[in-house]
Amino acid sequence: MPSAAGLEKRARKQKYREQLLENFNTHKAVLIITVDNVGSNQMQQVRIALRGKAIVLMGKNTVMRRAIRDEAENNPNLAAILPSIQGNMGFVFTNHDLLEVRDIISANTVPAAARGGQIAPLDVFVPAGPTGLDPGQTNFFQALNIATKIARGTIEILNDVHLIKAGERVTSSAVIMLNKINLRPFSYRIEVINVYEEGSVYAAKFLDMTIAEIGVRFSAGCGTLAALSFAINYPNLTTLPHSIGRAIKVLVALSLATDYGIEEAKEYKELLDNPELLAAKQAAAAAAGGGDGAAAGGDDAAAAAEEEDDEDEEPAGGMDMFGGDDDGEAADY
């Protein structure tokens, strides 16, 4: 029979499990955070700042994994969180704007002194200038190969000193040095590393992306997919606009060659029939700063005219709707 302490511990775990799963079920998004070197007072300040907007929930990783793994049988989307449960981490549940909640968390930053043996998160430079230390401590600076001079009764550092390099362990000498000049080079805060939303986990850095940036990335992806699809002769939605555009170019060329009028060829027909109009249009566009567009229009008309001149030399072959030849070879776009 379990002891009273064992029963109490089991009850606490069960209560935490219910609280964890309830928050997953009642909040649309979760910020996954790490709290390395963050003190209890700093955590409390963040909780106070998030009141009414989000709930911070910490706990043991093993208990979190077990609860989420069991619940994933009913809600498979939760399994995506499991790889993020490692190290000193926790959850911030919210139905509020994610960017605003992230900014509230990140704003609470506490300066901290360097500690011997820790991995430096950034480079630390000691600036040149007076230190306020008496000349009796010159030997310490000499041991660190730091050039100094005595000015107005105090030690003055002659040049900026790269004391600590990012990614390296902080030495005890560096700690003593920083303490002597009262410099606290590091700062700690709760870091938001990932976001869980609608069954997906993504890096928190994507919260800073604007709609315009997402559009540019999406367009670039569509362009790459279209190029690959053309290369393997596999038509899909990304190749369709290019194929239609090429088909229209062919129709315009045929219209100019056969003098069969279509709406798309009307502008080019007018330019070919009236070279003065073409020259005037190019001059006006160049004066307005739009010379590139006019030149492009002129190039299309010239290309169409060349195609018309070449009709007698080489008959045009049949084309499918994706710009391919009769033998099935895909055309370049």
Q: Are 52 and 195 in a shared domain?
A: yes
- Give the CATH number for residue 51: 3.30.70.1730
Confidence of residue 2 (pLDDT cuts 50, 70, 90): low
37: containing domain: 4-109+189-208
What is the model's pLDDT at position 319? 41
- Alpha-carbon distance 328 to 4, whole Å? 80
Give the residue among 23, 325, 14 at the shortest CA–CA distance from 196: 23
- Alpha-carbon distance 89 to 60, whole Å? 9
- Alpha-carbon distance 249 to 331, whole Å? 13
- Alpha-carbon distance 34 to 190, whole Å? 6
| Cα–Cα separations (whole angstroms), residue 98 to 80, 85, 88, 106, 213 | 19, 20, 22, 12, 18
pLDDT digits (tens, 9 = 90+) for 98-139: 999 999 998 888 888 888 888 888 888 888 888 888 888 888
What is the model's pLDDT at position 311? 45
Handedness of CA 11, 13, 17, 23 (dihedral sign): positive
- Alpha-carbon distance 237 to 222, whole Å? 9
**Does a structural domain hold residue 100?**
yes
Distance of CA 57 to the CA centre of its chain: 26
For residue 316, is pLDDT > 60? no
**Does a structural domain hold residue 160?**
yes
Mean pLDDT across the stretch 211-238?
89
> Nearest 5 degrees, angle CA 66-CA 71-CA 76?
115
Q: Are 79 and 146 in a shared domain?
A: no
Residue with tokens 């106070």: 48
What is the model's pLDDT at position 299? 54
**In the chain, how many domains are there?**
3
Q: Is the pTM of this model over 0.75?
A: no
For residue 206, is pLDDT > 50? yes
- Alpha-carbon distance 35 to 21, whole Å? 21
Give the residue among 94, 91, 88 at the shortest CA–CA distance from 38: 88
C-beta pairs of 260-265 under 8 Å, 24+ apart in sequence: 265/304
Confidence of residue 328 (pLDDT cuts 50, 70, 90): very low
pLDDT digits (tens, 9 = 90+) for 32-67: 999 887 888 888 999 999 999 999 999 899 999 999
Mean pLDDT across the stretch 2-24?
84
- Alpha-carbon distance 93 to 100, whole Å? 13
Average model confidence (pLDDT) across the chain? 81
Greater confidence, 302 or 247? 247
Pairing mode, strands 161-164 and 89-94: unpaired
Q: Are 271 and 128 in a shared domain?
A: no
Q: In angstroms, what is the C-alpha Rg of the chain?
A: 34
Query: Got the DSSP string for 296-327?
Result: HHHHHHHHHHHHHHTTTTSPPPPB-TTS-BTT
Residue with tokens 């993504």: 202
Q: Which of 173, 208, 243 is the last residue of a domain?
A: 208
What is the model's pLDDT at position 300? 54
Q: Which amino acid is at 193?
A: I
- Give the CATH number for residue 148: 3.90.105.20
CB 7 within 8 A of CB 76: no
